[in-house]
Amino acid sequence: MSPLIEINDPAFAGANTILIDSRGGQDSHQRYLAGHLKNAIYADLDKHLAAKVTDASMGGRHPLPDVEAFGALLGTWGITPESHVIIYDDKSGAFSAARLWWMLRAIGHKKLQVLNGGLQAANRAGIELSKEEYTPVATKPYHTHGNYAGTVDIDEAGEAAQDETKLVIDVRESPRYLGVTEPIDLIAGHIPGAANLPYVLNLDAEGKYLPAEILRSMYLDAIGNVEPAAVIVHCGSGVTACHTLLGMAYAGINEPRLYVGSWSEWSRRDLPMAKGGN
């Protein structure tokens, strides 16, 4: 199953399909109520897809929630291992949708896709939107096995950035990586040794992913001789990095891992920081 799905796919009307509208920002619920796909469950980045932040230097601005609590949440959404989960957001899939996709994949869920182009693709297709809150039928908590797979911590990320056999990719916009500006975190710059591959390069002019073969070529050029399993992807707080991990999976590269704490954690520690190129 491709990790991406197009808006005209009949799977949207499948009997076992669960549709999730995943958004972030203080006005995310208001935006959901202003227009969402019919029968889409509302998911909030800060409330549902991240733990409460007490100290961003220990886990970053969007640390992962407890995995069992996440499993219980999935149960309230009616999700079982047999559910076909389709996720979208209103940021071309680049924000909360990719994060939720990654989290579900990290606990082993198989039937899982993200709407290519997000809500904007539905608008272009003339899909009628709903303004009614959708309440799903709950089921038992989703059984999780262990913890989220495919993560690295701050120590492993720092060591990998200095290891020629490994690669750390920072997907933030280049001005943030270069240390020219930092609109969110406390300090501008990047992890020394990390390479920059902005997530926006994944998208075409309409906010849809580029064709898989083009993405694969771009990613493999960036990775070079490094084995995909030795690649670590991060961003500001472990959210948009998932957009590139989704693009990699779409391109057939499934092994790279996520540094969840990302720059929001690294920049709040007494650790080396770089500006400009590597």
Whether residue 162 sits in one domain with residue 95: no
Residue 135 lies in a domain: no
Q: Which of 84, 107, 124 is the last residue of a domain?
A: 124
Residue closest to 185 by CA, chosen among 193, 197, 177: 177
Same domain, 119 and 171: no
- Does 120 share its domain with 155? no
Let me know whether 108 and 177 are in one domain. Answer: no
* Domain region containing 87: 4-124
Q: Does 174 share its domain with 233?
A: yes
Sequence-separated (6 or more) residues with CB below 8 Å from residue 247 = 199, 202, 209, 215, 219
What are the phi and psi torsion angles at 88 (to 5°)?
-145, 165
For residues 165 and 88, membership in a common domain is answered with no
Whether residues 8 and 110 fall in one domain: yes
Assess whether 157 and 106 both reside in one domain: no
The residue behind tokens 């909360």 is 96
pLDDT value at residue 230: 98
Q: What is the pLDDT of residue 93?
A: 72
- Is residue 129 in a domain? no
Residue 144 lies in a domain: no
Whether residue 179 is contained in a domain is answered as yes
| Rounded Cα distance, 240 and 222, in Å | 18
Within a domain: 102: yes
3-state secondary structure of 104: helix
Q: Are residues 101 and 155 in the same domain?
A: no
Q: Where are the alpha helices (DSSP H) in the chain?
A: 28-34, 45-48, 67-76, 96-106, 118-124, 154-161, 174-178, 212-223, 241-250, 262-266
User: 106, 235, 242, 251: which one is catalytic?
Assistant: 235
Q: Is residue 250 part of a domain?
A: yes
The answer to whether residues 118 and 158 belong to one domain is no
**Can you give the pLDDT at residue 278?**
66
Query: What integer pLDDT is reported at residue 92 of this predicted model?
Result: 84
Residue 271: inside a domain: no
Q: What's the structural domain count of the chain?
A: 2
What CATH number does the domain containing 182 carry?
3.40.250.10
Q: What is the pLDDT along the chain (278 residues), one digit of tens a residue?
A: 999 999 999 999 999 999 999 999 999 999 999 999 999 999 999 999 999 999 999 999 999 999 999 999 999 999 999 999 999 999 987 789 999 999 999 999 999 999 999 999 999 999 999 999 999 999 999 999 889 999 999 999 999 999 999 999 999 999 999 999 999 999 999 999 999 999 999 999 999 999 999 999 999 999 999 999 999 999 999 999 999 999 999 999 999 999 999 999 999 999 999 999 86
Other Cβ atoms closer than 10 A to 203: 18
Same domain, 120 and 60: yes
Within a domain: residue 143? Answer: no
pLDDT at 53: 93
Q: Is the pTM of this model over 0.85?
A: yes
State residue 95's pLDDT score.
Answer: 85
In the annotation, is 235 catalytic? Answer: yes
DSSP3 helix / strand / coil % (the chain, rounded to 5): 30, 15, 50
User: Do both 110 and 156 map to the same domain?
Assistant: no
DSSP string, 202-242: GB-TTSPBPPHHHHHHHHHHHHTTS-GGGEEEE-SSSSTHH
